[in-house]
Amino acid sequence: MPYFDAASAAPLHPVARQALLASLDEGWADPARLYREGRRARLLLDAAREAAADAVGCRPDELVFTPSGTRAVHAGISGSLAGRRRVGNRLVVSAVEHSSVLHAAEVHAAAGATVTEVPVGRTGAVAAGAFAAALDPGDAGPVALACLQSANHEVGTEQPVAEVAEACRAAGVPLLVDAAQSLGWGPVEGAWSLLAASAHKWGGPAGVGLLAVRKGVRFSPQGPSDERESGRAPGFENLPAIVAAAASLRAVRAEAAAEEARLRALVDRIRARVPELVPDVEVVGDPVRRLPHLVTFSCLYVDGETLLHELDREGFSVSSGSSCTSSTLTPSHVLRAMGVLSEGNVRVSLPSGTTEEDVDRFLAVLPGVVAGVRERLDAPSPAASVSGTGSLLVDALGRRCPIPVIELAKVIGDVPVGGTVTVLADDAAARLDIPAWCEMRGQEYVGESPAAGGGVAYVVRRAS
């Protein structure tokens, strides 16, 4: 059964398994103790730290291990903000950061501080100039910390970290980079100040993160601390998992060049073939500046949760950013920030070792699966409808996407060119998906306004 969700968690690398089993026998003791078993554990911990620091591109004494990548992000943000509280309290983040960064930003804002969110374009990348402009003190006040991911976890777009790091250096602002998705492929370029990552993203065991804080960066760990991990990650180290994480990071780096070229070719095939095989599909993310193993596309008139279940039934494990696949019933914040279609969203992230046969079978199965879901939802066919009355009203209140978009597509041909269709909807995803449908189908999105009976009225003018 092909597993295509490495961006969530990569399968455990064989080297990680070997190192984990070996260190269970050798690294069970307290590395802070001076007796023989403790010294042996300390040697393992120090070797793991040196290996991880070499992969990150920092000094060993600048890196600590944490219980997860999320904890590394939270510790990095809170410690840096506290260390620079006399400078200011403003936090600058991109609109597509991982939820761990955005949740920390929400807590910071709830405490009365200022958070500035830098928008992204349709590919999911920030403009380095826009990020630099957000660092200007202006009326918002001095910036204490900036955060930018190295590559996006949902669409794979790489961010201009080196350019942003230079802008931060010029402004005297430390930059924290969330490198969870990219660290297994190579070091992060640029003069970053702090870096966080998570071992289960590169084939290490879950429950190990790392946080690097450059010397000279003002940093004040928050919360109770102890003598372990420089006071930045209190508690007994999970030494076997740490050793396995460092060993697997070194192993995947050694394989990265060959595997990157191979997986990039497979992803290029998916990017090219999916729009040819499935009508009304939008492939999102930067086509060039992207992670080599990840591709995301959205299918019009498709319920994302149903699509994932059907692909799972066919033997493929994939992920999605559609609102119908989440507990919040709101579209992915990444897709929303990009302004792209969110319904029927599929993220394919290939793990190391994925074969051409697996990808070919996925491409063979996908068209039938999408067609089946669309048929069940009574989605419109690509054929054009005849023109009729000058304006129509579609009441889709109480119905979740993609139903409002499907109803719009069914009737757009019933109005003449220049005529309008007003869609009443109360699903938050409609605010993203109706304009995205207009762009994909060459129709004019007029705008939205509150509806008298509740919900939102979205107005679309037929342009062709």
Q: Cα–Cα distance between 40 and 80 in angstroms, integer?
A: 33
Beta strands 90-94 and 143-149, pairing class: parallel
- Mean pLDDT over each residue of the chain, to the nearest integer: 92
pLDDT tens readout for residues 166-217: 999 999 999 999 999 999 999 999 999 999 999 999 999 999 999 999 999 9
Q: Cα–Cα distance between 283 and 122 in angstroms, integer?
A: 11
Residue 385 has pLDDT above 60, yes or no: no
Sequence-ordered list of residues with C-beta below 8 angstroms from that of 369, at least 6 positions apart, any chain: 307, 310, 311, 314
For 18, phi then psi, to 5°, come to -65, -45
3-class DSSP state of 197: strand
Residue 388: per-residue pLDDT: 55
Closest CA to 244 of 63, 9, 15, 8: 15
Residue 226: per-residue pLDDT: 76
pLDDT tens readout for residues 146-170: 999 999 999 999 999 999 999 999 9
pLDDT tens readout for residues 89-130: 999 999 999 999 999 999 999 999 999 999 999 999 999 999
Reply yes or no on whether 299 is catalytic: no
Residue 328: per-residue pLDDT: 52
Residue 389: per-residue pLDDT: 65
pLDDT tens readout for residues 304-340: 889 999 999 999 999 987 544 455 557 789 999 999 9
Residue 329: per-residue pLDDT: 53
pLDDT tens readout for residues 283-302: 999 999 999 999 999 999 99
Residue 33 has pLDDT above 70, yes or no: yes
Residue 384 has pLDDT above 80, yes or no: no
Residue 233: per-residue pLDDT: 84
Residue 383: per-residue pLDDT: 44
Residue 402: is the preceding peptide bond cis (ω within 30°)? Answer: yes
When pLDDT is cut at 50, 70 and 90, the band that residue 139 belongs to is confident
Q: Cα–Cα distance between 249 and 92 in angstroms, integer?
A: 30
Q: To which residue do tokens 């930003």 refer?
A: 105
Residue 464: per-residue pLDDT: 85
Mean pLDDT of 350-361: 96
How many CB atoms lie under 10 A from the CB of residue 232? Answer: 21
Residue 265: per-residue pLDDT: 97
Residue 78: per-residue pLDDT: 97
Q: Cα–Cα distance between 403 and 32 in angstroms, integer?
A: 60
Q: To which residue do tokens 């994939």 refer?
A: 318
- Give, as one character, the DSSP assignment of residue 29: S
Residue 386: per-residue pLDDT: 44
Residue 138: per-residue pLDDT: 85
Residue 52: per-residue pLDDT: 98
How far, in whole angstroms, is CA 308 from its chain's centroid?
18
Single out the catalytic residue among 58, 147, 299, 324: 324
Model confidence, pTM: 0.90
For 76, phi then psi, to 5°, come to -65, -45
pLDDT tens readout for residues 393-430: 999 898 888 899 999 999 998 899 999 999 999 988 89
**CA quadruple 260, 261, 266, 267: dihedral sign:** positive
